[in-house]
Amino acid sequence: MHLSGSRRVVHAEPPMHSPRRHFLLHSLAGAAVFSCGGLTQARDEPLPSPDAAVPPPATPTPSESGAIARAPQTCGRTAANIEGPFFRPGAPLATANTLSLTPSGAAGTRLQLVGCITDPQCQPLPGAMLEIWHADHHGDYDDEAFTYRGRVRVGADGRFDLRTIVPGHYRVGGGHRPAHIHVKVHANGRPSLTTQLYFEGDRFNAGDPFIHRSLIMPITQSGEGLKAAFDIAI
Ligand code: FE
């Protein structure tokens, strides 16, 4: 749930790129190698609710290898998640396979998110449409234009390559939403999917009432920014 009636939301927490978040920064060994159907996590149970009194991880444990962690190749269908109030139809459609949402000179930690759009059997879905929207590094959505909003149609291999920034946290009620990227996927002959992708290690993951474990992306360092890999099956 998002704040209603106001686009500007308070963000009292450090951005993902602060020193406190350097646990996320691991060197990415080698080139960006990934394959369709190998990155979708199979877990679909929700995280414990705040009522379960499970504290957020004070010191999240990074991957020891530094490489992108990969879940078993059991695609299934990616879990749905709430749309929230900030979706705007008609976002710009990329003319290339890479969807670049970062304005020139934009602040925030750069993020590359790669993956594939597949069916539940891990087979690529050529021509599927991926739509993205997320907050800026302060946790604000652009409700007047299309900053950090865009669409891309994947090619024959189903792959997408999103270049953007790590979204900021924002307040909801008495807490904060963890960093997340809103996603819609459309493919002919299939029910569309609306969901959100979350960041491994975010301190607000454990207390968020909407998150599903299966939607948390493994994160690694890539140059000066972060890299995430996640397949989306519909
Ligand atoms: Fe949101």
Residue 118 parent element (H or E): strand 110-118
CB 187, CB 234: distance < 8 Å: yes
Side-chain-side CA neighbours of residue 105 (13 Å): 0
**pLDDT in the model for residue 13:** 42
| Cβ atoms 82, 1 nearer than 8 A | yes
Distance (Å) from CA 182 to ligand 1 centroid: 6
- Ligand 1 centroid to Cα of residue 147, in Å, is 14
- pLDDT of 18 reads 41
pLDDT of residue 34: 46
Task: Tell me the per-residue pLDDT of 50-90, one tens digit each, with 9 for 90 and over.
Answer: 333 333 333 333 343 344 444 445 679 999 999 999 999 99
CA of 210 to the centre of ligand 1 (A): 11
For domain 19-78+99-234, give its CATH number from 2.40.10.10, 3.30.70.1110, 3.40.30.10, 2.60.130.10. Answer: 2.60.130.10
- Domain ranges for the chain, please list them: 19-78+99-234
pLDDT band at 156 (very low <50, low <70, confident <90, very high): very high
